[in-house]
């Protein structure tokens, strides 16, 4: 049996933190990357060695050779890929092993066998795992042959059908087709997306299940050939084919269905000699007329740890990361891993995204993050007390997990945590998630993957009703968040907490602040000091809780409120006389029109500029944007530097009116 001494984590954010925690429990050291003036506080003191790089980017984390070089540079003898990036790359797993390092994951052969959805379907069928009727061998056909094959499939199985990329996921290269006239165009678009996203245009065709539930089985195997199923999870609440809420166990399934599903997952894993953690995913036909049959079909196998693994850990009381490390060192699972679940666990994915605008990413500053902790609450976070969500990576901020004896108790704990936490940023999905949790369509039923689409009108109506109750309270609380913040330099994300009780009685209400936290960070992250905490407002004999954050940024006072789960965000310019003269807000500020990187600064302090002159160039979403002067004037101060990442509406420079002739 070999011993792992130090693991390089080829990943970032909350994933790096999670892997480091699992290693720390076994006394194994770790190394990871960071960029910026200092390492994130959530990694300091947890990751043994933090290596600074000039810039973190997806390209960096997808460069297998660089990851191996960093591992060797930091004295590691093993590599854990986390989840995402290179975690399901058989080539990377082979490279790690060929470099003399231990790979924390399944064998390259197992990864390769399950990498193609088409190949995985064939293996599943061979071992009697149920699959949706479909066509797998679509790689060597031209468009005309593809169209002909799809026409034949439709003749046998009818519409709708699903085209999807054989080598990918996340909704890319996926098209639902309902009419003969749409087949050729749908094939062309699906192939194009598949090629651009995964480097392979191969498609598979399946009968589309109109009302599916997305159920998955967590498996764990060792190198002695033992494979076990650690229950099941429901991941049906999705947008853009990506998960938002996951829970274990999947509600509403019979014991017989669970048994058959878990046995088929184990059989598939054993068929490919699988060890380490993995997930076998299924869809269930949950249409009203088919629901009683509880038919399930193989979807794909993820040869890695999943984002939603904490809910399984919670109900089985096991550390899956630790087990990955133990298996890699040759330990056996037999008679050692717990296979008896208890209770119910639900995970929410908190995103910087706009639920009112097609769930599009909304990267930006995080002015304050103060997660609420209580019994049954677990956080997996990849941000500091003051931070920013960069447009370069996935916009997920944190995962909030609640566990209780029952599903209803877990939901109740999630609602409490959302209402009590501070996540002060312009846009997030926190209030949206609260609406889902409070919906009887979620709490009293088993949602399908159509849930967010079907329930959108009801969720919007419920939000309007909630806001009608909290809007008047927001106006009163706004007035009592002091704008007199002292901006002081401080250590990275240093937190000092003072429990206090200050109250103000108004004509018809009483506002009380029950605790306060101050956090300070360098100017790179925007504000230097934020004050955040919790309190309650009592109006007409009824108390309503709130959490808050107030902060100073250059030329602005920013306030954020969470009132009974509904969030509010307000930016107010300070006295404009010092910078804006008689011209009004923004007249003397150069503002970033988009989030991105400052690639060129074409001005300097004291420079005279004319109206429409190009002052800076930003790079965003692989395009360049010119920042233009809105009037003639003189540059008084430049607030950014080349190479700096900025958010939209960030002040880039200040200027003054030209001297009078």
Question: Maximum CA pair distance of the chain?
Answer: 89
At 174, list the tokens.
């996926």
324, 80 contact by CB (below 8 A): yes
At 295, list the tokens.
């038919």
Comparing CA positions, the residue from 647, 653, 527 lying closest to residue 586 is 653
The residue behind tokens 């109006």 is: 539
CA distance linking residue 413 with residue 314, whole number of Å: 14
Catalytic residues: 304
Comparing CA positions, the residue from 432, 345, 353 lying closest to residue 397 is 353
Comparing CA positions, the residue from 368, 292, 278, 266 lying closest to residue 323 is 278
Q: What is the CA radius of gyration of the chain?
A: 27
For 120-241, list the strands marked E by DSSP.
134-135, 161-165, 175-177, 203-207, 212-221, 227-239
Q: How many CB atoms lie within 10 A of CB 444?
A: 8
By three-state DSSP, how is residue 16 classified? helix
In a 10 Å sphere around its CB, with 0-12 CB exposed, 13-18 middle and 19+ buried, how is residue 52 labelled? exposed
CB contact burial 292-326 (16+ within 10 A = b; e otherwise):
eebbbbbbbbbbbbbbbbbbbbbbbebbbbbbbbb
CA distance linking residue 381 with residue 398, whole number of Å: 4
CA atoms within 13 A on the CB side of 93: 19
Angle at the Cα of 202 (from 199 to 203), degrees rounded to 5?
Answer: 130
306, 83 contact by CB (below 8 A): yes
Q: Given CA atoms 257, 262, 267, 272 in this order, what sign does their dihedral have?
A: positive
CA distance linking residue 83 with residue 604, whole number of Å: 44
**Residues in Cβ contact with 184 at an 8 Å cutoff, skipping those fewer than 6 apart:** 143, 147
User: Which helix (DSSP H) or strand (DSSP E) does residue 498 occupy?
Assistant: strand 494-498
CA distance linking residue 422 with residue 548, whole number of Å: 6
456, 435 contact by CB (below 8 A): no
Comparing CA positions, the residue from 493, 583, 478, 503 lying closest to residue 530 is 493
The residue behind tokens 């076990």 is: 228
**Residues in Cβ contact with 357 at an 8 Å cutoff, skipping those fewer than 6 apart:** none
At 256, list the tokens.
């017989």
- Specify which residues 233 forms β-bridges with: 216
The residue behind tokens 């693994």 is: 309
CA distance linking residue 331 with residue 334, whole number of Å: 9
At 124, list the tokens.
């599943």
Q: How many CB atoms lie within 10 A of CB 659?
A: 7
CA distance linking residue 334 with residue 228, whole number of Å: 9
């Amino acid at each position: 049996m070999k011993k792992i001494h130090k693991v390089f984590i080829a990943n970032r954010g909350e994933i790096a933190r999670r892997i480091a925690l699992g290693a720390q429990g076994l006394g194994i050291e770790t190394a990871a990357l960071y960029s910026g003036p200092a390492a994130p506080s959530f990694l300091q003191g947890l990751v043994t060695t933090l290596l600074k790089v000039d810039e973190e980017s997806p390209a960096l984390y997808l460069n297998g050779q660089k990851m191996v070089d960093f591992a060797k540079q930091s004295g590691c003898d093993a590599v854990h890929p986390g989840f995402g990036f290179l975690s399901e790359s058989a080539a990377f797993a082979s490279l790690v092993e060929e470099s003399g390092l231990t790979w924390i994951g399944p064998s390259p052969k197992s990864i390769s066998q399950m990498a193609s959805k088409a190949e995985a379907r064939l293996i599943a069928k061979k071992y009697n795992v149920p699959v949706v009727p479909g066509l797998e061998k679509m790689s060597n056909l031209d468009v005309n042959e593809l169209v002909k094959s799809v026409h034949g499939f439709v003749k046998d199985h009818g519409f709708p059908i699903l085209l999807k990329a054989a080598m990918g996921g996340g909704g890319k290269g996926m098209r639902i087709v309902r009419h003969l006239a749409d087949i050729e165009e749908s094939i062309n678009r699906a192939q194009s997306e598949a090629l651009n996203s995964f480097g392979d245009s191969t498609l598979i065709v399946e009968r589309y299940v109109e009302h599916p539930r997305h159920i998955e089985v967590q498996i764990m195997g060792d190198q002695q050939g033992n494979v076990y199923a650690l229950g099941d999870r429901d991941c049906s609440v999705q947008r853009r084919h990506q998960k938002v809420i996951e829970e274990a166990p999947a509600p509403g399934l019979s014991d017989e269905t669970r048994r058959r599903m878990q046995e088929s997952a184990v059989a598939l894993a054993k068929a490919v000699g699988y060890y380490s953690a993995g997930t076998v995913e299924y869809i269930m036909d949950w249409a009203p007329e088919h629901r009683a049959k509880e038919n399930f079909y193989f979807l794909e196998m993820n040869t890695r740890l999943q984002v939603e693994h904490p809910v399984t850990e919670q109900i089985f009381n096991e550390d899956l990361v630790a087990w990955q490390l133990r298996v890699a060192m040759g330990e056996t699972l037999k008679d050692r891993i717990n296979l008896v679940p208890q209770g119910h666990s639900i995970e929410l994915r908190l995103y910087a995204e706009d639920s009112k605008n097609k769930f599009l990413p909304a990267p930006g500053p995080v002015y304050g993050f103060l997660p609420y902790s209580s019994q049954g609450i677990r956080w997996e976070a990849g941000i500091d007390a003051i931070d920013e969500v960069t447009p370069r990576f996935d916009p997920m901020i944190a995962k909030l997990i609640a566990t209780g004896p029952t599903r209803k108790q877990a939901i109740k704990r999630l609602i409490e945590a959302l209402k009590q936490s501070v996540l002060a940023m312009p846009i997030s999905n926190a209030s949206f998630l609260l609406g889902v949790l409070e919906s009887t369509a979620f709490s009293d039923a088993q949602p399908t993957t159509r849930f967010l689409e079907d329930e959108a009108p009801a969720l919007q109506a419920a939000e309007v009703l909630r806001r009608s109750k909290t809007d008047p309270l927001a106006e009163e609380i706004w007035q009592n968040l002091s704008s007199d913040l002292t901006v002081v330099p401080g250590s990275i994300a240093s937190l000092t907490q003072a429990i206090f009780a200050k109250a103000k009685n108004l004509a018809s209400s009483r506002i009380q602040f029950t605790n306060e936290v101050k956090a300070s960070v360098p100017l790179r992250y925007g504000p230097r000091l934020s004050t955040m905490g919790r309190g309650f407002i009592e109006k007409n004999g009824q108390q309503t809780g709130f959490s808050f954050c107030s902060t100073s940024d250059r030329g602005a006072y920013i306030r954020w409120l969470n009132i009974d789960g509904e969030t509010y965000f307000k930016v107010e310019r300070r006295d404009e006389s010092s910078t804006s003269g008689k011209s009004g807000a923004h007249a003397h500020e150069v503002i970033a029109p988009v989030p991105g990187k400052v690639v060129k600064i074409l001005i300097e302090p004291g420079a005279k500029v004319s109206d429409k002159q190009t002052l800076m160039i930003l790079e965003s979403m692989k395009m360049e944007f010119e920042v233009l002067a809105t009037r003639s004037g003189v540059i008084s101060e430049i607030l950014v530097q080349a190479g700096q990442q900025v958010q939209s509406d960030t002040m880039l420079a200040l200027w003054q009116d030209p001297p009078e002739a």
